[in-house]
Structure 1
Amino acid sequence: MAVIDDADIPVWDLYELSIPCAVFGRPQPELADRWYDLRLCGLRPGAGPLGPGFGVGIPYGLDELARADTVIVTSVPEACVTEGAELPAELIDALRAAAAAGARMVSLCNGSFALAAAGILDGRRATAHWAHTADLARRYPKVRVDDSVLYVDDGDVLTSAGMAAGLDLCLHLVRRDLGAHVANQLARAMVVPAHRPGGQAQFIDRSVPASDDDGLAPVLQWAREHLAEPLTVEDLARRAAMSPRTFFRRVQAATGSTPLQWLLHQRLARAQTLLETTGLPVERVSELSGLGTAANLRRHFTLHVGVTPTDYRRAFPRTTAG
């Protein structure tokens, strides 16, 4: 896996660079026997200054991209986003060569401008930080820009919005490669949400922030622990001591999705973990995850995960008895 950094990015974009380093950069023997081999690449290998007191070592040049199975582009310089400045030709050539060689191409935040400049996003759905999606659409009209989502998984090309959405996308990659159980355990170690679906809204209005004791967090945790039970918005609202209308509004403001959408994603995540870590029949997995019948599980699983439960289980050998 190759991560591209540009030594000219400002110090505040160090966050985007740190995300893949935190997720993929060190072995995780307690989670998987084999982990990612992360290599930081740039136009000018060596130490790159990012600002007063900051620097980053870039051990590899762009020729490393030709050997990578995944290439991640972090934020590009601001001038390339807002002022139409051109990215270096050698970077564009290296990205095109990596894509042609079959590498999975990934961008975080405004790294999508680099993929777009290389033509990799032509005809594809993609996203970027919401403040710059209009610029992306204007400069690259062949890209189907979606400014409303956290990240887009278009198979071998994935793009994300800024900041925390980049972390969501990296955890999504772990989930795709190594399974929901590994991704959940890694997220727990990092003390971040285990799974935020890419279709969740980028901008969530938190003008009135929820407090720890507003009744929402405890009831959502309770719901996660009782997914096998029939749960309705009315039941959860009653447990939270709210009206259904208020509960609906609070959940949507906090998560970017409706209560029923949130429940569905939690149930699918539970089903993924059960398929990976147990030998339970699909019928029992559907019951324990709260999706009812095996047919219902197959329908939602195929729609949201992209494969059948059986095919998903084949891709992830069982790690524990059950």
Structure 2
Amino acid sequence: MSRRIAVVIFPGFQLLDAAGPIAAFEIAERYVPGAYELWVLSAEGGEVESSSGVSLASDALDERPYDTIMIAGGDGTRSLPELRRIVAWLRRRAPSVRRLASICSGAYLLAEAGLLDGRRATTHWGRSDDFARRYPKVRLDADRIYVRDGEVWSSAGITAGIDLALALIEDDLGAGPARRTAQQLVVHQRRPGGQSQFSALLDSGGVNGRFAELMDWIREHLEEPLTVERLAGQAAMSPRNFARAFRAETGMTPAKAVERLRLEAARARVEGGREPIERVAEASGFSDPERMRRAFLRAYGQPPQALRRAART
């Protein structure tokens, strides 16, 4: 029996929030015919314009049985009369569906409907402070690519919707169809939900690229002690001003950023080589393998040895 998937949009939605998961489910259905039936819904139906100006055709919100309801995100979540109708519909329909999911700022609609109260969830890093203020009952985990709490799923910004869709496909159909879908999409089979959504922000040196040169310098000196004082000196700033500016630019403290860069370097060496874990820990700036193991568990939910085995497989 087909799983009926509803993707809910609204004026000003982010096009890829909807199109990415739709493409993933459509491709998975090729490999497992009859697995999915896709519907695009909106408050009133008809053509709905995205933030890019490109429109999608949609049906009006209805009472058909759905297996999964996914809410797209976008700037339209800020203030639209249509959202009140969607929120009311979500409250009414939630008990009858197997699974709820949000992409990016679509989490605002699930939270407004009270469907995230007491649950772990994530959203785009740029909305996390505002989201936490508005919805204190939600256990926001803003560092995650996607979060599953029971049968309620949420994801970070835009392309993370594809990661979420692949995870849903794997949950439904198993690793094989999910892997083939990812290959067809030419994306990684699965970025773990625990992977940080701040990685891309660090790669670019922050929102405005202010610390791009510093990020490059840190990567070249991971084996060395990297205190706030040393990083501030490298950036030609006072430690206090540097710590404040760095967090505003990247969304994390300097210490957390250094650990993240060390983790990424260590993971690449763990998955791509055969050198001893002890040497990887040393080369990546972790004081010992146990410290690195704990950092891997926090970030990826698995120890280094498990990631190495998975990569070899």
TM-score with structure 2 setting the length: 0.61
1:136, CA displacement in angstroms? 5.2
1:108 is matched with 104
CA contact (8 A) 2:108 2:131 kept: no
SS of the equivalent of 2:55 reads: strand
Q: 2:158 aligns with which of 167, 173, 176?
A: 167
Q: Which letter does structure 1 place at the counterpart of 2:17?
A: I
The CA deviation at 1:255 is 0.9
Alignment CA distance shift 1:280-1:23 (3 Å):
farther
Distance 1:22 1:175, change over 3 A: closer
Deviations 1:230-283 (A, max 9, x none): 322222222222222232222112112111111111212222222222233221
Letter in 1 for 2:270: L
Q: Supply the distance in 2 between the matched residues of 1:115 and 1:5 (Cα, whole angstroms).
A: 17
1:149 aligns with 2:145: no
- Alpha-carbon distance change, 217 to 251 in structure 1, aligned in 2, over 3 angstroms: same
Q: Would the aligned equivalents of 2:293 and 2:303 in 1 still touch at CA under 8 Å?
A: yes
- What is the aligned length? 262
Structure 2 residue 307 is the aligned partner of structure 1 residue 312 = yes
Report the alpha carbon displacement of residue 49 of structure 1 after superposing the two structures with TM. 0.7
Contact 1:40 1:58 in 2 (8 A): no
Corresponding residue SS for 2:154: strand
* Aligned equivalent of 1:102: none
Equivalent residue number for residue 192 of structure 2: none
Amino acid in structure 2 at the alignment position of 1:298: R
Q: Percent identity?
A: 26
Shift of 1:294: 0.5
How is 1:50-69 mapped onto 2 (pairs within 5 angstroms)? 50-51=48-49, 54-57=54-57, 66=67
| Structure 2 unaligned spans of 5+ | 26-30, 171-177, 189-194
Counterpart Cα distance in 1 of 2:250 and 2:242:
12
CA distance in 1, matches of 2:254, 2:240: 11
Does the residue aligned with 2:158 lie in a helix, a strand or coil? helix
- Counterpart of 1:234, as a letter, is E
- 2:229 corresponds to 1:234: yes
Counterpart amino acid of 2:72?
T
- d(CA) in 2 for partners of 1:65, 1:288: 50
Partner of 1:254: 249
Q: Provide the residue aligned with 2:72 in structure 1.
A: 74
Residue 18 of structure 1 corresponds to which residue in structure 2? 16
Distance verdict in 2 for CA 1:306–1:80, change over 3 Å: farther
Greater shift in the superposed pair: 84-93 or 221-230:
84-93
Residues 92, 43 of structure 1: CA spacing in aligned structure 2 closer, same or farther, 3 A cutoff? farther
Q: 1:54 to 1:243 in 2, by over 3 A?
A: closer
Residue pair 2:8, 2:70 contacting (<8 A) in 1 also: no
Sort the Cα spacing of 1:308 and 1:241 in 2 relative to 1 into closer, same or farther, 3 A.
same
Match runs of 1:219-298 below 5 Å: 219-298=214-293
User: 1:6 maps to which residue?
Assistant: 8
Distance 1:65 1:277 in 2: 42
Report what 1:87 is aligned to.
89
1:97 is aligned to: 98
- Distance change (3 Å), C-alpha of 1:89 and 1:239: closer
Q: Secondary structure, in 3 states, of the residue corresponding to 2:261? A: helix
Contact 1:127 1:133 in 2 (8 A): no
User: Using a 3 Å threshold, how does the CA distance of structure 1 residues 270 and 124 change in structure 2: closer, same or farther?
Assistant: same
1:224 partner letter: R
CA RMSD in angstroms, aligned pairs only: 4.8
Change (3 A) 1:135 1:242: closer
Write the distance in 1 (CA, Å) between the matches of 2:111 and 2:212.
38
Contact 2:232–2:242 (Cα < 8 Å) also in 1: yes
Letter in 2 for 1:113: L
